Structure 1
């Protein structure tokens, strides 16, 4: 069993961030990607949505499979798939082939996220909450920095450069797993991960009311944030006239709230527990979203009117993300992979639903983004407070 060391934690932070790194590096290169493959404007967005779908669905299989076979072999296999897919993206002959490879990349990358969370539970046991929060901080930091880095790479070396950078990060992650990580799942379950019994395993997992509460709250919270993330470029650049550089700085300032919320969670989760942290976080998300809708209705779209309330949303989201995962995974020590996989799926499902609805409702104004943001935030608040009634609170000291 590995010991909880800083080197191991740094490796797990990198694994947790791999999916976001793969996406955020690529976003600034989408226009040049379309030009390079002579594709219609906007068609490259499929490379983002297909990744999110594969990333979310894959976790439902990878997590429980690691409960059966062990974290290390499944993680190594996932990273090899990730590297093969990323290499295929570099060699793709057209955009359709690139998108197909991107889907495979999402399947490989999902193993990094779900198994990093499961390993944290294995190693840190009942005190995994702060470590889970730190891995989320690594992921959120990549959301801030990767787009700027990807933009510079694309500017100087073309769309292949950010893809190559993602390949390099994946290679480093694989080497770290091979040489620095020993198997942490000491109790393999020979019945876990079997396709015929997988639905039953998830049904049994979802009998826990607190897990259902955390999963739905996470899904709707991330959906609320994703509505703004997906619509922010058009709102700030096309409607408000900001330059790409100004948008990057504004977006970075807003997302820094996520890091602040995750830092608060890392320091206070053992003292307050996941439920209290999520309660505070979802209240901040709902308040910030309500202010966003109110200011937009009274004064119209403005940089400050959109940005300032979003700081409340991102601070709250930075609390909900790690605390809800901790609240779901820590009590399920014997099936940490299964629980981590379902929470990852819930997070991506919320993002996918928000993105699809935003695309369907798009009318050239900022109203669809703002209204969806408010609806998802309200749903998160309602889901948490309605479902938590009567549910038992599992202390962090349980299930060692």
Structure 2
């Protein structure tokens, strides 16, 4: 794996991996990296080989995750290969698998996720986007919000309301929608950092073939729960957390040795050590989850536990980085970064930033973006409620 990474990664792709401001890499670099992986047969580590995946074991996936981060390679987009892909493999018809999976691997289809709505976020079952059947089509109207990369995606998987029942989880359908369909409008949601990664999608009488229903009509909640296990627990957090913490240690040590480091709190080194211990605990949990998935078992509530620990540790590491960056981290210096979307209204280049080391300039952007980690994919409060209900019977 190290040999492959050493020979396959270009300087541009490495730069994109090391200068990310969130969990999403620069789109062009990300797609270039996926093309390299696809040529080797490694674009989908967890998919069975029969569908074009690598068919790796839990240990092999862990090795790749660890070495990818260490080499500075960016991740691939999770919405297609890590989320829609497993759902299609699990619930798709032979025709759907044959059509969508190869195009997902090659990058011809780039996916986004249409779940949240203005009035349905953590309470996802409250969604209102409707789909009314008209012959062999479903006519869709409504809105989805906080849609990552809808501005570059050409397919979206959506939950839509096809029937109104007493229980709001009933009557929901899982639908695959071509983003080039008439009646779709994408509007940007620009973050306070200037990054355009999130979007709102408006659907006005959008016609979608019934053949694009994944699973059965009105049974989409079952598919959604299956997919959410992959979103919450299908990707290991620990390798990247460990690499980021190790890099922070080295950066702080070098700054101190050169007399450039301001003085963080007296207990800063102890907090670094505490974070390292927590990451090792998370790593043990992730190995159990990946082992279960590789043996055909669902992650279950372990996915919620992993999501809680992983996102809260992401926030902790960015808090430590921001403290270590000191006064330089207070300046808005987006030009040094390679975010997951355009910086609207900012014409700067990678050399165009005020002062300090690149990590000090990126630290505040990562800190801001990681605030969302405990909210997306179901808030951590919701995850704790899932664990309390399923495991403790509360």
Q: TM-score scaled by structure 2?
A: 0.29
Question: Which has more radius of gyration?
Answer: 2
Larger relative strand fraction = 2
Larger relative helix fraction = 1
- Bigger relative CO (Cα 8 Å, ≥ 6 apart): 1
Q: TM-score scaled by structure 1?
A: 0.29
